Chain A
Amino acid sequence: NAGVTQTPKFRVLKTGQSMTLLCAQDMNHEYMYWYRQDPGMGLRLIHYSVGEGTTAKGEVPDGYNVSRLKKQNFLLGLESAAPSQTSVYFCASRRDRGPNEQFFGPGTRLTVL
């Protein structure tokens, strides 16, 4: 099992460009999450999904969109990137029942110039 994978690992964008980050999990987990991690601020929830076809806003959703067309994939989109979106992005997944343990991907480091 690969667990949670994220592509790409690194990306540099210019202000105003768009991109999509892909998260994939092979554990048949219902719930998936997108976080951003900035120095001194821990992880902040951007959007999450409690099942295929569902999405909901987290703590810092502005400037991002998400889609969960397939259970195993959760996409995070930036329509018009801004320097404030320079961050490390983590995807996580968990089962819908049992212990609330989230499994994290390795992260995507995004720089917006």
Chain B
Amino acid sequence: TQLLEQSPQFLSIQEGENLTVYCNSSSVFSSLQWYRQEPGEGPVLLVTVVTGGEVKKLKRLTFQFGDARKDSSLHITAAQPGDTGLYLCAGVGSSNTGKLIFGQGTTLQVKP
């Protein structure tokens, strides 16, 4: 069974601080995705990383896929209150069914 361990589960920081969220597994994934979810809504895809060692940037968010394709990280620079939400990593297996294995999620609160 493939599992994804996400840490930390909760993060409360002040506006302007930097933070990193980690997503780790003992399994290899063909790709890894990061979603953001706001209260009362479904998750929305932020990024997909496919190649081991790949780094993608989305404004102040930097996503990295581990060289062995077993782990990933999300780094936010100078966090803003608008970044508040639930961040979920999801691993894509090798089958063509598109099934996702989700981490437990990280609840981020950015205080003004």
Could you list which residues of chain A lie within 8 angstroms of chain B, going by C-beta atoms?
A: 4, 31, 33, 35, 40-45, 48, 50, 56, 58, 90, 92, 94, 99-102, 104-107
Query: What is the total of A-B residue contacts with beta carbons within 8 Å?
Result: 56
CA A92 to CA B40, docked complex, whole Å: 15
- Nearest 8 interchain pairs by C-beta: A104-B42, A42-B102, A43-B102, A42-B104, A101-B45, A100-B98, A42-B105, A104-B43
Chain A residue nearest in CB terms to B43: A104
Distance, CA A41 to CA B45, complexed state (A): 18
The answer to whether A107 and B102 have CB atoms under 8 Å apart is: no
B30 to chain A, nearest CB (A): 9
Whether the Cβ atoms of B103 and A107 lie closer than 8 Å is no
| Complex Cα–Cα for A41 and B97 (A) | 22
User: Is there contact, CB below 8 Å, between B48 and A43?
Assistant: no
Q: How far is the CA of A105 from the CA of B48 in the complex (A)?
A: 20
Are A41 and B104 in contact, CB atoms less than 8 angstroms apart? yes
Of B42, B99, B103, chain A has the most CB atoms within 10 Å of the CB of B42
Kindly identify which residue among A45, A58, A90, A101 contacts B42, using a CB–CB cutoff of 8 Å: A90
A94–B48 Cα gap in the complex (Å)? 14
Among A41, A43, A45, A106, which residue has the most Cβ atoms of chain B within 10 A?
Answer: A43
B97 cross-chain contacts in A, Cβ below 8 A: 31, 48, 50, 56
